[in-house]
Structure 1
Amino acid sequence: MTEINFLHNNSQDQTFLLLGFQGLYSYRFLVFAIFIIVYILILCGNVLIILVIVSNRLQHSPMYFFLCNLSLLEIVSTTEIIPAILQILLRNGIRLSLFGCLAQLYFIGSFSTTESFLLTVMSYDRYLAICRPLHYSSVMHFRFCCYFVLASWISAFLIVFVVIGFLSQQDFCRQINTIDHFFCDFIPVLGLSCSDTSTVKMTIYLLSPLSIISPFLLITMTYVFIIRSVLNIQSVTGKKKAFSTCSSHLTVVCIYYITLFMVYVVPTNDRSLQANKILSLLYTVITPILNPFIYSLNNREIKTGINLSLNWKIKRKIKSQNNFG
């Protein structure tokens, strides 16, 4: 009986060469330092938000519970991408096995899909808070929020697993497959296949509405109702207060989906490979570093929590110095 493997036996020795940023080779140490700083800022910013939410006991509030999960997602997703980018910069490209390339593709795709689902859940939370405030506490209880988040993670990983399962059955004719990108992405990997890709493409076309288009449409629909409800509020103060509760989320949604649509939905025939890399950097690296600043600057509770944490540390330091003196 033939052993069934996840990958074909004849593709075990195949290698995928990620070229990364060949045009920046002369400045690779400078770019390396920039990515190190960006990575540290992403980690510190998102960890700070999680610590502020937990230390101030805000995690049982649906909005902050979802924000905590979003920050955790940003940490793990950038940890999957940026260390690989750093390796590419130091080595002027890295080699991955077929399994390694598909594994990277699986996790990056799963994290991106999870973010789409989490942003959708957060928009529904804002919709209930503004448009259905009397039903908010009865619907968005903590257990229901946990179900929402768990469903977002599990469904995202299952959807991408189906695509990777079909993609793993493809034959790649070359021993060394060159990808002019900084990570294994669906389109470049599929373009290297020398077998029939119709099944994989059909699977992507059927599942992409679930992972990108449907969440975007649901978010758009909720914000149509939110904007209509805000406009019906009589007082200017009430309008500002209602809008401030969803302005951060709306900003993140716009940044994330604009770049995501430009990479995967808009035709790429007239766009250069360098432009694709820049757009990919926007949703994989730039968005995670912007999220902590957007939520901390536009959210009163987060700013208050950060100030309280800083004041507590300062007081503790002064107290320890006085005791030492």
Structure 2
Amino acid sequence: MTDQNHSTVSEFILIGFSNFPQQLLPTFFLLYLLMYLFTLLGNLLIMTTIWREHSLHTPMYLFLCALSTSEILFTVAITPRMLVDMLSTYRSISFTACASQMFFSFTFGFTHSFLLMIMGYDRYVAICHPLRYNVLMSTRDCARLVSWSWAGGSVMGMMVTMIVFHLTFCGSNEIHHFACHVLALLKLACGNETSSVTLGVILVCVTALMGCLFLIVLSYVFIVAAILRIPSAEGRHKTFSTCVSHLTIVIVHYGFASIIYLKPKGPRSMDSNTLMATTYTVFTPFLSPIIFSLRNKELKNAIKKNYLRKFFP
């Protein structure tokens, strides 16, 4: 290898949306800005409603409040940088800032999956073991589960980030993404360890995320079995309706993640990959407050009671 190929990279260049048609960028910017503001306001509305309405001080809504917090922090960590990319041609980012961005992205992503998993467990206990619900899902136990979710997400995020940035980056420093995306960054690494580290990162992420999904699916297998034993159709419908919003978010979360990480290999341009990545970073947090506020009757009524009726009597 030449000396040039051995030179290490001290900063990266985020290509982002630089190769997109410039006349489309103002439209993209306005669209994503509105979605970003709606995501923040929607999740803040859910959090303040749960805080103010005492009837919602239950484990299910405590987990929902934690999920909204995760959505807000994830959106604040990622989306503003994407909006800046749309207004600039190229943007340099230091080695440390890139590592920090990846850490926060992984931390909130893993935390989000862990919270969805314990929300599935909450529905399982409520439907399959209703008499033991208050014992198994006490306030202390719920707080402990939320704390473990955040701690687990932080540890996973730190571990994956340290593994990736332990590599040597040389040659090109252009990241064809609007953020320090792990797959785009690993393409810039060099050395004999690159292939093994790439495989290790993929295995860690897939094991953690698929493990959460497996436990969620297992919870719903028992939930469906319990619902089918309810004699009346009205009772089955009422019981299942308490799971609809959570189940919808799980489908959205893992569906959009699959578009990015499990898409089939093919002749795609870098621009299409960048645009596809926005489905997970923007659309998932955007849809979350809509799904929970529309599909959850108690939360919807609480929002009407606390806000809509005050401003629109």
* TM-score calculated relative to the size of structure 2: 0.91
Equivalent residue number for residue 3 of structure 2: none
Letter in 2 for 1:51: T
Partner SS for 2:174: strand
Q: Distance in 1 between matches of 2:264 and 2:59?
A: 38
1:51 deviates by: 0.7
RMSD of aligned residue pairs (Cα, Å): 2.0
Change (3 A) 1:194 1:112: same
Equivalent residue number for residue 93 of structure 2: 96
1:11 deviates by: 4.8
Deviations 1:165-187 (A, max 9, x none): 1211211112x511221211111
Q: Distance in 2 between matches of 1:205 and 1:292?
A: 30
Q: Distance in 2 between matches of 1:172 and 1:153?
A: 30
Partner SS for 1:215: helix
Change (3 A) 1:20 1:110: farther
1:14 deviates by: 2.8
Q: Distance in 2 between matches of 1:227 and 1:118?
A: 21
From 198, 208, 212, give the equivalent of 2:209. 212
Q: Distance in 2 between matches of 1:140 and 1:93?
A: 50
Unaligned runs of 5+ in 2: 1-6
Equivalent residue number for residue 241 of structure 2: 244
Deviations 1:144-201 (A, max 9, x none): 0111111111111111211211211211112x51122121111110011112213422
From 134, 137, 149, give the equivalent of 1:137. 134
1:13 deviates by: 3.0
The answer on 1:54 being equivalent to 2:86 is: no
Change (3 A) 1:141 1:236: same
Q: Distance in 1 between matches of 2:216 and 2:26?
A: 41
1:277 deviates by: 2.9
The answer on 1:110 being equivalent to 2:107 is: yes
Equivalent residue number for residue 7 of structure 1: none
Q: Distance in 2 between matches of 1:62 and 1:75?
A: 20
Q: Distance in 2 between matches of 1:24 and 1:305?
A: 44
From 185, 189, 214, give the equivalent of 1:189. 185
Kindly, what percent of the aligned residue pairs are identical? 35
Q: What is the aligned length?
A: 306
Equivalent residue number for residue 73 of structure 1: 70
The answer on 1:179 being equivalent to 2:175 is: yes
Change (3 A) 1:58 1:190: farther
CA contact (8 A) 1:21 1:182 kept: no
CA contact (8 A) 2:14 2:177 kept: no
1:272 deviates by: 4.3
Q: Distance in 2 between matches of 1:36 and 1:261?
A: 24
The answer on 1:165 being equivalent to 2:143 is: no
Partner SS for 1:285: helix
Change (3 A) 1:21 1:65: farther
1:276 deviates by: 3.0
Unaligned runs of 5+ in 1: 1-9, 319-325
Equivalent residue number for residue 225 of structure 2: 228
Partner SS for 2:249: helix
1:232 deviates by: 1.8
Letter in 2 for 1:244: S
Q: Distance in 2 between matches of 1:27 and 1:262?
A: 23
